[in-house]
Chain A
Amino acid sequence: MYIAGIDVGGTNTDAALIKDNEVVATGKVPTDHVNLVESTAAALETILGSYRGTEPLELHLSTTLSTNSIVEGRGDPALVLAVPGPGMRIEDLRLGFAVHQLSGSVDHRGREVAPIDREEVKAAMNAAREAGMEVLAVVGKFSHRNPSQELTIEALAREGDYRFRHITLGHRLSGRPNFPRRLATSYLNASVAGQQARFVEMVRRLMLEGRNIGKVYLLKADGGTMTLEDSLVRPVETILSGPAASLMGARALSNHQEGNAIIVDIGGTTTDMAVQAAGEPVFQPQGAEIAGHRTLVPALFVRSIGLGGDSEIRVLCRRENGQTSRQLVIGPKRAGIPAALGGSRPTPTDAAVVLGMTSVGDVHRARKAVAELAGALGIGVEETARKIIDGFVRQLVEAVEDIYQYLESRPVYTVSELLAPRDIRPRVLIGLGGPAQVFIPLAARAMGIDWEVLPYHEEANAIGAAASRPTAAVTYHADTALGVAAVPEMDYTGEIQKAMLFDIRKAREEARRWAIEKGKELGVLDPDDIAIVEEESFNVVRGFYTIGRIFTIRAQVRPQVRRIVPGAERGEPNAVQQS
């Protein structure tokens, strides 16, 4: 079976073709932002020569379309209707977009406290249509517990002659709490929906142009895929899929898909780091952040630092007790291309060239550049080069340690989790990127763990896109004291029958059932691919009697990635070392 992965980046569009579990071709074309479909088609052409199948080709696309439109503020103006109820003033949220506040309110258990004013809703929609707004986002506080007020507003929008081209309801995007994030997520979703619709049209045209393309999936910020149809409903989930694609590429190519690992992608200017725990990627605690908007969009946890092969190297003088010590600081700025390759200033790559650790460019030019620093330090060229390498490794290891300290200091709310924290510490350092072969083994040794350097770098994003699998999660909330249950992502609310008999096992079953249903929509048919990832259960006691239970269970299609091996096309296996 063939899958093509295409990552439309800001500069280049990369493509990779995988057959079963092997990379059979990779290609690259410059991205044409005016005719995106042209350059996407061109990237596809670079790999189609290696396609020998008869069955339709599955296409996985990662695009910067939504990301760019949000970062550049080019989204469509959206009418955002909010039902905030009491609490923090919406004006104080400084959301960065206009919000029209409505009366009405729902409490923390999803009980309606104050009703919607229909006339108020209609007036707001009339005014917005007159002002030329064509898309609508509706968000209520606690709408993940009870979406009825959002649904009422949606019905009013469809009944009247408003003809909104797109309507986003907050509860459909996420079953997680956080009203300001739900507002931001819904606003962004509505504002990029029009553009996404045009993009989907283009992709469908591309498919029709005589190419044998079957299913098309889009990459999401969590490193999973979604269907083209689903992307019309929730386009915001395609943000930040570029970095996710590279990291998924690393996971796909690694021999260490199980267990704990740290993935380090060393580029010229920056190094991106992501964490794998018990074989699954670690996600952002609440959701992605983009252009100052905090969202509920599930996203891989990625940290970037200004450290790379082309980093600037400075000599820092420190005076302590009359003694002057000189220390090398690498990054966070970029110096330019390495001196060995024609640049003018020394870089970490030059240090590696001087020491014979890599053989790029002209060693004499590298020596000359490093010699300038050696002069400032008053030591030899080789020693300076070693100090640069050591400094790079030290900064990298410190950054990794910072990540783990951050993740390990995240709040927990139970005694058992506080006393027995989950072990997420890495057993292996997975590296990719040009300078990885130099720095990864050294950093792994400093950390006392194994390492692995992957043979692909620039193509990892496209390989990651091809290797990615569907992801989705549902939040099942049941309140047996009120006799109600909800799965906001599936737009379900219903009554619980025989509430007194409804226990945690029943709740788990229900959560799994909804997740399996969601999985089916995505083509995930194996129930073993469904996992319960979060679970809460509380007795509701009033007076001296237990009158019910509250369950919140999150079930997901497990975030998986196809195992990919480098093809004959590349020829090199992964470099590995058990330390």
Chain B
Amino acid sequence: MQSSSRNKVGLVFFPAFDWCITPDHPEREERLLYTRDQIVEEGLLDVPGIEEFRPRVAEDVEISRAHVCVPSVGSVITQSHRIAAGGTMVAADLVLTGRVSRSFALLRPPGHHANRIVHGSRGFCTINNEAIMVEHVRRTYGSHLRIAIVDTDAHHADGTQDIFYNDPGILHISLHQDGRTLYPGTGFIHERGGPAAYGQTVNVPLPPGTGDEGVLYVIENLVLPILADFEPDLVINAAGQDNHYTDPLTNMQVTAQGYARLTELLSPDIVVLEGGYSIEGALPYVNAGLLLALAGLDYSAVREPDWSEEKVKQPPHISETIEKTVAQLWQMWRTRKDVDLERIFGHGPFFTRQRRIYYDTDNITEEQVEKIRLCPACSGWRVIQSGAARGWGVPLGRVTVIAAVLIPWHACEDCRREADEEFDRLQKSGRFRYVYLQDVERDIYKRV
């Protein structure tokens, strides 16, 4: 007989014990081994109210709702990516069908560095599990659902930001170690979203050395008030576990207790594992604490073996920096609707942005030009022209140039027509290896 959890929690656990990027890569078979050992030994899977479910395999069309994969879905991912994305969708279905009150997709590989256009793998990610889930949720349960994603990985969730940066239905908040000190080097407070969703991208850069105190301060004084204001139908926590004080790739000081408290405060509907590579010292304890917190059980006895108060103490100057950032971001949130968008995005008819994106995992450089139709009636159709080749900066191989026309949810008639015309024009131009059309509302995904 075990204590029942207060919340019915669905766990989709898939450690992919037979998959790795390379045998000595952080994203390897061993990553969730000790987490599995800890969870099973704690008996957490026996707690009434915590139920384990199998993931499923995501289909091409489900991935195409969030991504334009070049040259095709099947060519850039492995079965293991499909299972991670499929498992994340299972986690969403469990909550949205009312089978459980909360769910946790504890699986790998992660996804939050994967952009809308996918030429390969970056930051250990190829396809974006949260984004695929969000599109699945909107298609299955209603395209008007308002969804908040709170990404608490130590790295900026640049991929998720990219996918939803002009999406008025989505609020994306990313807490991360300051981009000046860590991959991917983005996620500054002035990155606030596109013309149709300005202010709904919220970046909270945290100084190296931030501990429980700082992260929980941000949750209580910024994230929760913004969520209360945004009133989402669904809160997703992209739960990277690399803010932990033992993580080998970052410089943060968060503990298992901090993560559990964060989860308790945020009370997300769905939690999805992202990064976290202190596979022995952090993950077993963070995940045990997180699962207990999600279930509404006492997590106070979860403690890392090498924990000491001095080790995880946050210096006072860091607290001051964080308080200032939070005050500034709260002010920015409150006044987001007063901002003169023309001053930022121009008069139209298009806003254009140009970017260079490096795929560190696969050593690919991508150059992108994106045009967004500034439409008064909807969020506007978009066209992305993208060229990519192996190598860093200097192309080492053939450059693949593609174009993708994107029609958003709830596009107006004019935008639909213009987008269709653009798709035809690009096809005929002969300048592109492939031209893609992504029409989420009609669920049409073409490549010519």
Contact = CB atoms under 8 A, between A and B. Distances in A.
Nearest to B87: A418
Given A105-B305, A109-B280, A545-B24, A179 B43 contact: yes
Interface stretch (B10-18, B155-163, B340-348, B438-446): B10-18
B46 A96 contact: no
Interface string A412-432: 111110110000000000000
Contacts of B401: none
Interface in A75-90: 84, 86-89
Interface stretch (B51-59, B67-75, B135-143, B355-363): B51-59
B18 A89 contact: no
Looking at A142, A418, A546, the one whose CB has the most chain B CB atoms below 10 A away is A418
A88 B41 CA distance: 10
A93 B43 contact: yes
B80 interface: yes
A439 to B, nearest CB: 32
Given A89-B300, A538-B33, A544-B24, A415 B43 contact: no
Contacts of A105: 305
B54 A88 contact: no
B54 A418 contact: yes
A95 B43 CA distance: 12
A148 B298 CA distance: 29
Contacts of A536: 17
Interface stretch (B193-201, B284-292, B378-386): B284-292
A105 B19 CA distance: 32
Given A179-B43, A546-B24, A94 B1 contact: yes
A89 B302 CA distance: 8
Nearest to B301: A89
A415 B82 CA distance: 10
Contacts of B2: 92-95, 180, 294
Nearest to A544: B24
Interface in A526-573: 536, 538-541, 544-546, 550
A89 B298 contact: yes
Interface in A93-112: 93-96, 105, 107-109
A285 B183 CA distance: 42
Contacts of A415: 16, 18-19, 78-80, 83
B41 A177 contact: yes
A292 interface: yes
A523 B24 CA distance: 45
A414 B52 CA distance: 15
A413 B288 contact: no
A94 B3 contact: yes
Contacts of B43: 88, 93, 178-181, 294
Contact of B13 (A88, A141, A413, A419): A413
Interface string B38-62: 1011111010000011110100000
B34 interface: yes
Interface residues on B, range: 35 or more
A411 interface: yes
B28 interface: yes
A113 interface: yes
Nearest to A409: B54
Given A415-B80, A539-B23, A541-B28, A108 B15 contact: no
A86 B284 CA distance: 11
A88 B288 contact: yes
Contacts of B52: 411
B3 A108 contact: no
B42 A87 contact: yes
Interface in A289-326: 292-294
Contact of B285 (A84, A86, A89, A409): A86
A409 B1 contact: no
B410 interface: no
Contacts of B303: 86
B212 interface: no
Contacts of B231: none
Contacts of B79: 415, 419
A111 to B, nearest CB: 8
Given A88-B297, A108-B284, A179 B302 contact: no
Contacts of A411: 13-14, 52-54
A292 B1 contact: yes
B17 A108 contact: no
Contacts of A539: 23-24, 28-30
B1 A293 contact: yes
A95 B46 CA distance: 12
A418 B288 contact: no
Contacts of A87: 38, 41-42, 288, 301-302
Given A108-B284, A412-B54, A419-B57, 7 more contacts: A86-B305, A87-B301, A105-B305, A178-B43, A411-B52, A413-B15, A414-B16
25 contacts: A86-B301, A87-B301, A88-B44, A88-B299, A92-B2, A92-B298, A93-B2, A93-B3, A109-B280, A178-B43, A179-B42, A181-B43, A181-B46, A293-B1, A411-B13, A413-B14, A413-B17, A418-B57, A536-B17, A538-B29, A538-B30, A538-B33, A541-B24, A541-B28, A550-B30
Interface of B: 1-3, 13-19, 23-24, 28-30, 33-34, 36-38, 40-44, 46, 52-55, 57, 78-80, 83, 280, 284-285, 288, 292, 297-305
Interface of A: 84, 86-89, 92-96, 105, 107-109, 113, 141-142, 177-181, 286, 292-294, 409-416, 418-419, 536, 538-541, 544-546, 550
Q: Which 9 A-B pairs have the closest CB atoms?
A: A180-B43, A86-B303, A414-B18, A177-B41, A113-B305, A108-B37, A92-B3, A177-B40, A292-B1
